[in-house]
Amino acid sequence: MDELFSPESLVWRDKAREVAQKVVRPKAAHYDRIQEYPWEIRDALAEAGLFGVWIPKEFGGHGGGVLELCLVVEELSRACGGIGVLFAVNALGSFPILLAGTEEQKKRYLPDIASGKRLIAFGLSERGAGSDASGLATRAVEDGDEYVLDGSKKWTTNGGAADIYSIFAVTDPTSASRRISAIIVEKGDPGFEIGRAEDKMGIRAVPVVELHFKGCRVPKDRLLGGRAGMGFKHAMMTLDRARPGVAAQAAGLARGALELATVYAMKRHQFGQSIANFQMIQQMLADMATQVEAARQLVYASARACDAGVPSLTKMAAMAKLFATDAAMRVTTDAVQVFGGYGFMRDYPIEKFMRDAKITQIYEGTNQVQRLVVARNLMKEASGLADLEAYMPLPDHPNTLLDQERAAAEAANPA
């Protein structure tokens, strides 16, 4: 497998693996229990240089891409899904700046993100606008040299810990296509408050909070890209590039759960032998391993598509997110089953993997939405397959090619 990656990619993967084994895994249960931000793990990630993996070298990063990001997220998530998203959400928050920011905005923010000095979050979802990202209510009104923000954001991962926020708000409520803009908000801006922290089922090491804007004044030079009305486009471009990261989190969780289940099955004895000798257990492990490997390969393919900017990026990212997260839920659930009664107890690490996996099917676009995205892209692509209509009976083509061949044969050889 290593032969399929560049030496640089493997360097960052191996650094992430080392941090995951030495720092993350020993602390995963602790931070899951207390639900506090693990600053010591953030420091270890920064010391290893991992926060700069996806950021270009001219802005203080290492010049990698989405593939390198996914390799790091997978390794961290093998040890703890919460830490995987704690890391990946900084890419989610910084992608709008990378993709659409002005040169000055990139120089102002990206070096500190790359070094791990400052964390960033992504503020899109609201109470009434989850899957319907276009239905935002938060307003940003131009007032002289500033924008004044009013409203709230919901489910903001990394909120509270972050210093920088990519916020999406309505700047032109009369427009259908240019309604939303993206604005960079900083911790400490007047009128910006961190609200309620959620008590979550999983990914408990990373905070998820509400954000409140009450007459929050932000300088106009923080309008992303310097152009109003482009926010929805920027959000969709960001999610296309971030979804492989969620898929990588899911693949890492599934892989970690499979490893734990395999080791446990070999050590656990019933009826005088290891349960790994039972064919039903072997079948479960084999199916789990196949799903894990298929998910990983789709993650890598979609990440490479992101880095290459291929036209089918949206569909590929949706497929990776859809398949890998569904696989993670199946694999982690089966892993709990392999552990039996022990799998249901918090004394063992496996139940946490199942709790962490569930959110991957929901955030950054539910899997129901991903299926819609894939299907709609398939229908667009089908317009280029008109020649296939000749092989099937349709209202406009009642005769198939087989019928035409039979008619031609009968004409050539009349009875």
Instruction: Give the 3-state secondary structure of residue 102.
Output: coil
Active site residue 364: yes
Within 10 angstroms of residue 165's Cβ, the number of other Cβ atoms is: 23
Q: Which segments within 187-266 are labelled E, that is strand?
A: 192-197, 208-219
Give me the DSSP letters along 215-236: EEEEEGGGBGGG-TT-HHHHHH
Give φ, ψ of 188 to 5 degrees.
100, -10
Place of tokens 């349960």: 275
Q: Name 337's bridge partners.
A: none
Number of other CB atoms surrounding residue 407 within 10 Å: 11
Alpha-carbon gap, residue 143 to 234, rounded angstroms: 23
Measure the CA–CA gap between 370 and 320, rounded to whole angstroms: 9
Residue of 364, 381, 389, 405 with catalytic role = 364
Contact in structure between 27 and 85 (CB atoms under 8 Å): no
Q: Which residue has the tokens 């406009």?
A: 396
Distance CA(300)–CA(74), nearest Å, equals 11
Query: Which positions ≥6 away from 187 have C-beta within 8 Å?
Result: 162, 163, 164, 165
Report the C-alpha gap between 237 and 240 in whole angstroms.
Answer: 5
Tokens of 337: 């089953």
Catalytic residue IDs: 364
